[in-house]
Every structure is written in C-alpha cells, then in structure tokens.
Amino acid sequence: MDIKINYCTVWNYEPRAAGLADMLKKEFNLSPELIPGSKGIYDIIVDGKTIFSKHREKRFPDNDEIIDLIKK
C-alpha cells in the first residue's frame, strides 16, 4: 500500500501531517510519504487515489476517519 500526505507548508500543516503519518505507521506498519505543498492543501492519497481532500470536504479529517477510509 502506498500512502502520501500532501500538506501545506505555508499554513504549517506539517505537524498535523506528521502526526497522521505516525498513526498510520503504527496501524499499518508502513511509512507514508509526506509531500510539502502550498495553497492550503491537505490531501491523503492511497495507491494513487485521493481518499480525503481538505479543499473538497472544507475541513480537516480526524485521524481515525483516515484509518477507517484506508481499511475500506
């Protein structure tokens, strides 16, 4: 499984992205790739498919929500 977390450096979303990456590492025993970006981006991409986009949902996800989406 390939997981990427694309986060905005301008708005300092890195701590949030790193926290999610730590949870995913514990839950799935893998290391998500953290991808710095801009313009308020916070997207979670699994195997090339965006499973959560802050711009689309107009909010941040709860980390447990991301774990549930990945398990689906």
- Separation between Cα atoms, residue 50 and residue 15, nearest integer Å: 20
pLDDT for 2-12, tens place per residue? 999 999 999 99
Average pLDDT, the chain: 97
In whole angstroms, how large is the CA radius of gyration of the chain? 11
Residue 72 has pLDDT above 90, yes or no: no
Domains in the chain, ordered, with CATH? 3-71 (3.40.30.10)
Go through the chain and tell me how many residues it has. Answer: 72
In order, the DSSP letters of 1-69 are --EEEEEETTTT-HHHHHHHHHHHHHHHS--PEEEEE-TT-EEEEETTEEEEEHHHHTSPPPHHHHHHH
**pTM assigned to the model:** 0.94
